[in-house]
Structure 1
Amino acid sequence: AKISSTMFPLKSAQMLQTLEKSLRKSLPVSLKVYGTVFHMNQGNPFKLKALVDKWPDFNTVVIRPQEQEMTDDLDHYTNTYQIYSKDPKNCQEFLGSPEVINWKQHLQIQSSQSSLNEVIQNLAAIKSFKVKQTQCILFMTPEMAKKLAPSLLDRSQRFIERCIRTFPTVCLLGPEGTPVSWCLMDQTGEIRMAGTMPEYRAQGLISYVIYSLVQALDKLGFPIYSHTDKDNKIMQKMSLNLNHIPMPCDWNQWNCVPL
């Protein structure tokens, strides 16, 4: 049965599995949302929820935390939304709904669609918040397609710790038994926050740990992908050396702060 609503939450396991199959058909443009829904169907460890504009013939899907998780208005790591739309020019009303996105908080929007920028900028003007777009190159392993700079702020540290506790992580230990190189996976299934201690750099260690994590994730059937900053030529070269291929779409994030 077709269900039409300004905002429809997908609550059943069958609905989420149907959503995953539908998003798979739109890869790689749907990748950021597809990766998130994939892990929602693997037990949903971050307790995220999926909202669509209508069902089953949805145009726009938003993945977000539960309201009870979003208690800190300044915590944009928790207040993160993943968006995919088949019709980016006509999703503004849906995204503008306070039931879908709480625009009064500091928040992040992530998507593989740079075409959402116009809608987000329009909403920034209407709802009075400043927005900063970050656009990076999106990489993926050829089998699926065929950064370290973690802040010392408490919020980012809590986010990183939660990712380490929840998802597969690879860490290479030095002779003293302390981490020298590592990479993590976040709630969207993306390989992120890879890094090496300064005294161990330029030895290819980061390539080794990422390769090791990719091999483990591949055996689990996880969608494997990552992004690099457009100015980070070293990580771009490393991704290419690992035979990861750049996608025709981008990695996008919009950090929004109410005025």
Structure 2
Amino acid sequence: MQILTCPSKLRLLETVLQRHLPQALPAYGAVMHINRRNPAQHEVVVDSWPEFKVVLTRPCKEVVKDKQDYYANFHTAFYLDVDAWRTLLENAGAIDWGKAFQLQGNHDGIYEVAKEAVAAKEVQLTVTPYFTYLNLNPDKQPEPRLDPGFIFSSLNSSHIDLLNETWHYGGSEHSRRYLANMVRCFPSTCILDSNGHPISWIIMESLGTLRHSYTLRSHRRRGYSSMVQRAQAIRVHAAGFPVYGLVALDNTPQQKLLVSLGFQRLSELCHYCIHSAASQ
């Protein structure tokens, strides 16, 4: 196991992961951000180099100060060999099992091997599967027309409380801190009404994913969600990132919306694995 710190090696890793898209999407998005000023302060672990079989991205040690804060402790994994993934997960230096953390990946084995590991460590595991939707050419969609007085903008720190109140997984200080970090570090798109208040928005997060899409209930069924997601997709695509998003399996309206915007659903599920710290 080794931590990749050499810029040339990290750029090479990005190129190699690109060849394994779309399966490598979460790890690829994380590595792209690491190679572009690393706003989330993440690092890359591989089982070996240059002939690697496993890639693990994780926060640098100084990032996660609260051992219960799994929002901040975000990992991704991509592997070419499931046994190599199992071996890395058992390595004491790969993951700090004394802290709560999230692990995301598009392999079924991400979940299966994680389940084996937590059984041995007596750590609680919660797994949520998501559909992954990918858009290879978001520029094909027609230009939206906003209502008079409404404008496209970006989210800022004054909007964090609203985001935390409306997000399904929000409402805590941990989630608020996470959202504040995403808004500060990554591109976002929102529509502001004539009073300058956000009514619909979406954020790009540390894995390059389009997440946290929301439209206030009083402004729904007017096409605003479609507008912000299209605008954000074009912005992300122009920056060279893959345009992809995760959708809950039962969120049929969002699935239909993404299809209408030119997204295609991938065959493999993306698994969000939340591991609770052993002290809980």
Paired AA for residue 195 in structure 2: E
**Structure 1 residue 253 and structure 2 residue 247: aligned?**
no
Give the conservation status (yes or no) of the 8 Å contact 2:110–2:271: no
For structure 1, the residue ranges without an aligned partner over 5 or more in a row are: 1-6
Give the conservation status (yes or no) of the 8 Å contact 1:149–1:195: no
Give the conservation status (yes or no) of the 8 Å contact 1:190–1:226: yes
Cα distance 1:131–1:109, how it changes in 2: closer, same or farther (>3 A)?
same
> Quick one: distance in 1 between partners of 2:174 and 2:189?
22
Richer in strand (by share): 1
Structure 1 residue 138: Cα displacement? 0.2
For structure 2, the residue ranges without an aligned partner over 5 or more in a row are: 139-165
> Quick one: distance in 2 between partners of 1:101 and 1:139?
28
What TM-score comes out, normalization by structure 2 length? 0.86
Cα shift readout 1:57-95 (whole Å, capped 9, x = no counterpart): 000111001111122110001111111111124421211
> Could you tell me which of 13, 18, 26 is aligned with 2:20?
26
**Identity value in percent:** 27
SS in 2 for 1:64: strand
CA-atom RMSD, angstroms?
Answer: 1.4
Residues 90-239 of structure 1 mapped to structure 2, 5 A cutoff: 90-143=84-137, 148-239=167-258
Structure 1 residue 148: Cα displacement? 4.7
Cα shift readout 1:155-202 (whole Å, capped 9, x = no counterpart): 111111111111111010112210100000101111000101110112
Name the residue aligned to 2:4: 10
SS in 2 for 1:183: strand
What TM-score comes out, normalization by structure 1 length? 0.93
Paired AA for residue 92 in structure 1: R
Structure 1 residue 12: Cα displacement? 0.7
Structure 1 residue 132: Cα displacement? 1.2
Structure 1 residue 101: Cα displacement? 0.5
Name the residue aligned to 1:44: 38
Give the conservation status (yes or no) of the 8 Å contact 2:136–2:242: no
